[in-house]
A = this chain, B = another copy of it.
Amino acid sequence: MNQEQNKIPRATAKRLPLYYRFLQNLSASGKKRVSSAELSEAVKVDSATIRRDFSYFGALGKKGYGYNVQSLLTFFSSALDQDEVTKVALIGVGNLGTAFLNYNFLKNNNTKIEIAFDVDPSKVGTKIGDVPVYEIHQIGEKIKEEDIQVAILTVPVHVAQSITDELIKADIKGILNFTPARLNVPSSIRIHHIDLAVELQSLVYFLKNYPED
């Protein structure tokens, strides 16, 4: 990452993967250019915000022409470090965890679930979606051995904090938390929390209060 990219505001940075994914689809379908209005419709971000976001990456858009899809892709690919694979561990091979292992982010070039952990003896020692499943007590050992920095947490809520404590000891840097638990971690560790109940509640709230969009 160069200095320039470090100046991108957080809110903009958060939208980068979304833009990137959509532009990949556009490119795959043979589109050469895209307007901010089309982008807005597709990614559900208003077009003024898109134009401002893109202005941080340099003057890539032209009035009446829009943006060149390939130039945007090249920029995003570099910004998102698509060349460098980040190794991920998955903790908790229940239904949600199994869904991740089978999916394994095949469309991403830059993230790969390398190892998984569970307590169930019928799962430990097997491979699910090509990913080996280890006993949960091997977290410290295996994560250090494989030099893994990111964990996906799909365990029951009542063990979420104790397993997080193990991940902290294993020097994990980021956790994608799918449990309803709010985890206590040192400020050096980044947590993204996806609470599926909150997502559903948010949709219902919008339906009730903004029905006429």
Residue numbers of A with Cβ under 8 A of B are 1, 5-6, 8, 10, 13-14, 16-18, 20-22, 25, 42-44, 79-81, 86, 88, 94-96, 98-100, 102-103, 105, 107-108, 110-111, 149-150, 152, 173-174, 176, 180, 182, 187-188, 190-213
A160 to chain B, nearest CB (A): 13
Residue from the set A1, A98, A198, A211 with the largest chain B CB neighbour count within 10 Å: A198
Determine how many copies of this chain the complex contains: 2
Please name 30 pairs of A and B residues whose Cβ atoms are closer than 8 Å in the assembled complex, sorted by A: A10-B210, A13-B205, A13-B209, A14-B206, A17-B198, A17-B202, A21-B180, A21-B198, A44-B193, A86-B207, A88-B200, A94-B99, A95-B95, A95-B96, A96-B96, A100-B196, A103-B196, A103-B197, A105-B197, A111-B197, A150-B203, A150-B207, A173-B211, A174-B206, A176-B199, A176-B203, A190-B203, A190-B210, A192-B203, A194-B196
A203 contacts B182, C-beta separation under 8 Å: no
CB neighbours (8 Å) of A13 from chain B are: 205-206, 209-210
B197 contacts A107, C-beta separation under 8 Å: yes
Q: Which residue of B lies closest to A42 (CB)?
A: B182
A173 contacts B207, C-beta separation under 8 Å: yes
B107 contacts A102, C-beta separation under 8 Å: no
Among candidates B8, B17, B105, B200, residue contacting A111 with C-beta atoms closer than 8 Å? B200
A112 to chain B, nearest CB (A): 10
CB neighbours (8 Å) of A96 from chain B are: 95-96, 99
A99 to chain B, nearest CB (A): 4
